[in-house]
Structure formats: C-alpha cells, structure tokens
Chains A and B, each alone.
Chain A
Amino acid sequence: MIWETVRLSLRSIRRNVLRSFLTLLGIVIGVAAVIAMLTIGSGTTEKVKADISKLGSNLLVVRSGRPAGPGGPGGLDQVVRPLAEKDLAALVAHLTGARVISPASQKQVRVIFGTESLTSGVTGTDSAYLDARDWKLVSGRPFSDSETRSGTGVCLIGETVRQQFFGSGDPEGEIIRVNRTSCKIVGLLEPKGYTGFGQDQDNVVLMPLHAYQRRIAGNRDIDSIYIAADDRTPTSELQPRVEDILRDARRITPDRESDFAIRDMTQIADAMASATATMTGMLGAVAGVSLLVGGIGIMNIMLVSVTERTREIGIRLAIGAHEKHILIQFLVEATVLSLLGGIIGILIGLAFAGLASVTLTIPFAPNPAVILLAVGFSALIGMVFGFFPALRGARLDPIDALRHE
C-alpha cells in the first residue's frame, strides 16, 4: 500500500516536472545552504585546530606582561619587565616534567640578498626551539650548541624566504643580510603554510638568540619562553610549576600579581575550535530559516495540487478510499517531493563546500551525521507542511469533489 502510494506520488511529481522542480528549489537551496555552511564550518574548525597544533603540541608559552584579564597585559600601574636570561636559567634548573625549554625573541626585520629584499619575522632562539614548535628541517642542520652560546652569524630560513631569494635553488651556505648584520644559511625549514588568520608562517629567519640580541635587538631581553611538556605531564599540571619558579626567580611577593603570562596552547586550540563551532552553528541556523521558507513553498504547491485534483480525490473517495488513504497519498507526495529536494540540496551543498575547501585551502570535512540529519529534516518538512493540504483533501465531501470542474 505504501509502496503503491510512493509510486503514485513519484508519477504525479513526474507529470508536473517544472512545477515540482520550482517547488523543490526552496528545499534545495535551504538544504544546500545548511550543508555548505556546516561542511565549510567544520573544515574551518579542523583547519584552526591544525594551525594551532602547528605551533607545537603540549606547549606552554611564557611572555612578559600581566596575564590577560581586567586591565589587560602590562597594565598601566607597572612597566613591563621583560623576561631575562636568569628566568630561563631558573626554569632549566628547577622545572620538572618539561621536555624542551627554549627562549625566543622576535622582530620584523628587512632581509636582503643581492638586490632582493623582504621583510621577515626574525627570531633569535636556540636549537631546542625546533623541537618545541614541532618544526623540522628540509635540509641542512640546526644551530650547534656552540653557535647558540657564542651567537655566531648563522641562520635557518623558511620556505617563503627561500622562494624570494633563491627560487627553488639550494640556499645552503649563502650569506644573507639581516638588518645590518650578515649570516650564513645552514638549513631550510619545512613549510608550514598560512595560519587561519592569514599569517605566513614560512616568512621567517631563525638565528641564535645571542646573535639576535647583540646584532638586531640591541638588548638582552627574551620575548617568550617555549616549554613543551613531556609525554606524562599534562600542560595543566606544568603551568603552576612554571608560575611558581618564575615568581620566585623574578622575586614577586605573594601579595602581587605575576608580571608575566603563561599561555597554554592546548587550551587556546580548544577555545578557538569551540568559537568556530559556535559560528558554524549560527550560520547553519540562518541557513535553516531558508529551509522553513522552502517548507512553506511545499505547502503552497500541495494546496494547489489538492485543489487541482479535487475531482480525482472525489473519484477515489467514491470508489472506496478512506480519509487516511487520501491523507497518506498527499503526505507521501509532499514528503517525496521535499526528500528529493533534500537529496539534491545535499549534493549541491557538498559540491559547494568542496569548491570552497579548494579555494580557501581548508580541509573538506563532510559530516555524515549532518547529512543524515538534513535528509531526515527535509522529509520532516514535507510531512509537516504537507499535512494541512493533505488533510484538506482528505476531508473533501465526495459529492462536492465529483462535481468540481
């Protein structure tokens, strides 16, 4: 009986191809919008997560200035006291549960090779930095300990810097000018691509911290300290230890707030991901409104269909159809119609999301649960908005219906 009715409704949809298509359009656009939004959204979430994990996993980053909060970092009541060599030394001496501790200072500096020039993020650090940031070398070698200690003019460059100066050629052994000093390229960093915020992570030059401090910054400050937790220690456990050691090293009395901030990258990753997810949900909800409009379209066309087929309903009632038969017939028709729209919408939405993932370089992340939900929801819309017209058809008086011209 149901199968019979589905066949019947498919035939009636085929009979009015153009009208059926126009009716479908509302649902198609609605579902396509929802699917595209949610798929692009979850792709973006993945991208953000991946970007943050590129900064290094299980990573704490210490910077000078007060922790974010009321007043913000480096409030007006105190001059920001930079991190210093002795803070780093205290961490190295006392911190347990850390795999890597690495200092870094950075600055945007003009880098020159031959006649070409480029403004790059130049970072002074040590060889452990690569480990902390989970960064590998494509070729060459990291700085040696002696180079780090003595502040020799050697450097590692990112992919963007290589492209600018050497194209696809081998940069090793070449000498570039960074600010007013020169340094020899000893290695090429693995490309990391752009962050979710459009920052080129490959436009970098790394050099030993002492070389940076002496030749570029002109001071002994450390901007940040990267601390990677070992495998057994969660960052949440490591963080208070770091804080204690630094407060002690910086002689901060218990009644005063810390003048440095510790950022837990894992937490930031989670926060970013949940923010993107919220955004995605909101966009999806907006797109969902268009589904509602599609549903009203279905209702409209089903009312027309019932009126147009009043005589047919009369015949069916006269030869013994019950109210429920007529109800089911039109309900199935509306459901099949909107389900069809839903499926077309899903295909278009996925195609759109696929296109977006290529142009925005985010991962294509279709969510089976969302797709299933869209199918179910479009069927539900057909049922809900088809119910009133179907009921109207089922309640017709057979005598009046037969008389209808």
Chain B
Amino acid sequence: MASGAHLITFDKVWKSYGQGEAQIHALAGVDLAIKRGEFVAIMGPSGSGKSTALNIIGCLDTPTAGTYSFMGIDAGRLDRNRRAMLRNLYVGFVFQGYNLLARTTAAENVELPLIYRGVAARERRDLAMQALAQVGLVGREHHTPAELSGGQQQRVAIARAIVTRPTLLVADEPTGNLDTARTHEIMELLTKLNKELGLTITMVTHEADVAEYAKRTIRFVDGRVASDTAKLEVAQP
C-alpha cells in the first residue's frame, strides 16, 4: 500500500563505493518516502549523499543494498535500458550547467527526449513549441544555447524536462549558475509547474532561500537523513 500512495520510497537504501577498509558509504540505510505532487528540496554539505540520493531518485543510479521503488516499480533492480525507458517516460532532468546540446537550437534541444520516444517530427515540433511557451521562451525557438542567457538556457532545459509530460522532475542545483534575480525567476517557474501541472519536484540545492520555495526540506548528513521538515504555512491541496 505504501508504494501505491508514494511515488518514491527508499527502504534502507545503501550506496557504497570501494572494498573492505577503504569502503565509503555515500548512503547508509536511508528510509524516505515522497508523494505525488510534492516539491522537495534536498540539502546537506558536500559528501553528505544528497547527489547520490538524487541520482537514485532519477533512476540514473542504483542502490548497493536496500530497495528503491519508483511508481511502485523496484527501479533499483532494473537494467540500464529499462531505467532509460523509465527516465524517458516519467522523469525530467534539470542540471546546474543546463546541459543543452551546443550548436543546436532551443526547439531541437527540447525535442530530443521525444526523438527517443519515437514521436513523429511534426508532433515533436508542436510539443516543443508548447513546452517553450510554458517556460516563457516564445520567439527564441531557433536560438542556439550560445545566443541565450544563462536564465534562458535553464528555461530551455526545463522545457526539455517537461516536454514529455513527466511525473517527476529531478533538479540538481538548478540555480547554481544564476544570479539572484534569475534564480527567483527560475524558482517561480518551478513552483508554477508544481502547482499547475501537479509535477513532483525533487531538487538538490545548498542555498537556503532556494530551498524556501519547496514545501518540504530533507537534510542529509553523512549518508543519512538528518532532518525532514514540511513547510506548515503552505496548505496541501
């Protein structure tokens, strides 16, 4: 029942690197549950395991021990290609460094996940235009990343993440490269997507004012969840 109610559950998840004495535990028995529609900020010092946790949540990585379940699927035990399929169908990614393809237009960047889904060219274009409109980039479809500002590039990346209408958005320091004004614009956009589309967002950040936009903050220390606080003043729908 728990997996039905929760989009994401960690059950005693361990992630270890190395052997014997030199073994390092990035995650040391993490239990965690995130429901659909949540907007979760993951914080913690570097080396605390927050990025590892985010990679597992995004089905990029798998636990060494314990169970990671995504949409009720034991995603931690799927092979590469099945996880790729999960990512393509249900997960959108936003990175600190935008990670757009250089010398490729905004529209083509946004279309990319649809290509791997086998969507026809015309439909791809339409969906890409819609996504770009949702992030407020109408008229910039044919600009390449080099011709766009940092904030605009991150909007293109968000459009690429949501063009497949994913269930989950995974954001790794999405505002890490942006100035304060741009940071707030991007965070407001994410908040809007969370509210309007019901998009579940998990976001790693180390800035407290960015984390403020989330409804829940999970703090990692030494591979364990140190605190997990929900923002009480925001009423859950």
Contacts and interface: CB of A to CB of B under 8 A. Distances in A.
Contacts of A314: 99
A109 to B, nearest CB: 79
A15 B103 contact: yes
Best-buried of B55, B85, B99, B160 by chain A (most CB within 10 Å): B99
A317 B103 contact: no
A323 B93 CA distance: 19
A28 to B, nearest CB: 26
Contacts of A279: none
B115 A402 contact: no
A320 B60 contact: no
Given A4-B115, A315-B99, A315-B101, A320 B84 contact: yes
Nearest to A325: B116
Interface residues of A, number: 20
A316 B93 contact: no
A320 B112 CA distance: 9
Given A1-B118, A321-B116, A324-B81, 15 more contacts: A4-B115, A311-B99, A314-B99, A319-B88, A319-B113, A320-B89, A320-B116, A321-B84, A321-B88, A322-B80, A322-B81, A322-B116, A399-B55, A399-B60, A399-B61
A37 B55 CA distance: 57
A318 interface: yes
A312 B102 CA distance: 9
Interface string A289-327: 000000000000000000000011011111111111100
Nearest to B157: A315
8 contacts: A1-B118, A15-B103, A315-B99, A319-B92, A320-B89, A320-B113, A320-B164, A402-B95
A318 B103 contact: no
Interface string B3-30: 0000000000000000000000000000
B101 A312 contact: yes
Among A314, A316, A319, the one with the most B-chain Cβ atoms within 10 Å of its Cβ is A319
Nearest to B161: A319
A393 interface: no
Contacts of B93: 318-319
Given A323-B80, A323-B81, A318 B87 contact: yes
A399 B113 CA distance: 17
A30 interface: no
A312 B58 CA distance: 18
Interface of A: 1, 4, 15, 311-312, 314-325, 398-399, 402
A17 B220 CA distance: 48
B117 interface: yes
Contacts of B61: 399
A322 B92 CA distance: 16
Contacts of B116: 316, 319-322, 325
Contacts of A399: 55, 60-61
A322 B85 contact: yes
Interface in B143-181: 160, 164
Nearest to B121: A4
Interface string B89-127: 100110100011101000000001101111000000000
A321 B80 CA distance: 10
Interface string B53-93: 00100101100000000000000000011001101110011
B61 to A, nearest CB: 6
B95 to A, nearest CB: 7
What are the nearest 3 A-B pairs in CB distance? A320-B88, A319-B113, A320-B87
B142 to A, nearest CB: 15
Given A15-B103, A311-B99, A317 B84 contact: yes
Contacts of B103: 15
Contacts of A4: 115
User: Which of A15, A318, A324, A399 lies at the interface centre, i.e. has the most chain B CB atoms within 10 A of its CB?
Assistant: A318
Nearest to A14: B103
